[in-house]
Amino acid sequence: DLWQDPSFVLKAAETLGTALGRASDELRQDRSFVTSVVKRNGMALPFAAAHLRNDREVVLAAVQNRPEALRHASEELRGQRDFVLAAVERNGASLAYAPQQMRHDLEVVLAAVQNDGVALAYAAAQLQCNREVSLAAIARNASAAFAAAPELWQDREFVLEAVRRNSEVLLHTPDEMRADRAFMLEAVERNGDALRYAGDDFLEDEELVLTAIQSDGTALRYVGDVMRRDRQFVLAALGRNAMALPYLADELWRDRAFLLEVARLVCPNHRSQQTTTTTQQQQQNNKQITTNCDLEHAEVARLNPDALLQVDEDLVCPNHGTASNKQQTANNK
- Contact residues for 243 (Cβ-Cβ < 8 A; gap 6+): 216, 217, 218
Query: Of 80-84, 190-194, 255-259, where does mean pLDDT reach its minimum?
Result: 255-259
- Looking at 43-52, 61-70, 82-91, 298-307, which range is the least confident one? 298-307
Q: CA triplet 283, 284, 288: central angle to 5 degrees?
A: 115
Identify the band that residue 314 occupies on the pLDDT scale cut at 50, 70 and 90. very low
CA angle at 256 for the pair 316 and 288, rounded to the nearest 5°: 35
The DSSP secondary structure of 24-86, one letter per residue, reads: -HHHHT-HHHHHHHHHH-GGGGGGS-GGGGG-HHHHHHHHHH-GGGGGGS-HHHHT-HHHHHH
Asked if residues 319 and 325 have their Cβ atoms less than 8 Å apart, the reply is no
- In order, the DSSP letters of 110-143 are HHHHHH-GGGGGGS-HHHHT-HHHHHHHHHH-GG
- In this predicted structure, what is the pLDDT of residue 268? 60
pLDDT band at residue 329 using 50, 70 and 90 as cut-offs: very low
pLDDT in tens, 181-237: 999 999 999 999 999 999 999 999 999 999 999 999 999 999 988 999 999 999 999
User: CA–CA separation, 39 vs 216, rounded Å?
Assistant: 41
Please indicate whether residue 301 or residue 251 has the higher confidence score (pLDDT): 251
CA 305 to the chain's CA centroid: 30
pLDDT for 302 equals 45
Residue 285 has pLDDT above 90, yes or no: no
- C-alpha–C-alpha distance, residues 20 and 128, integer Å: 38
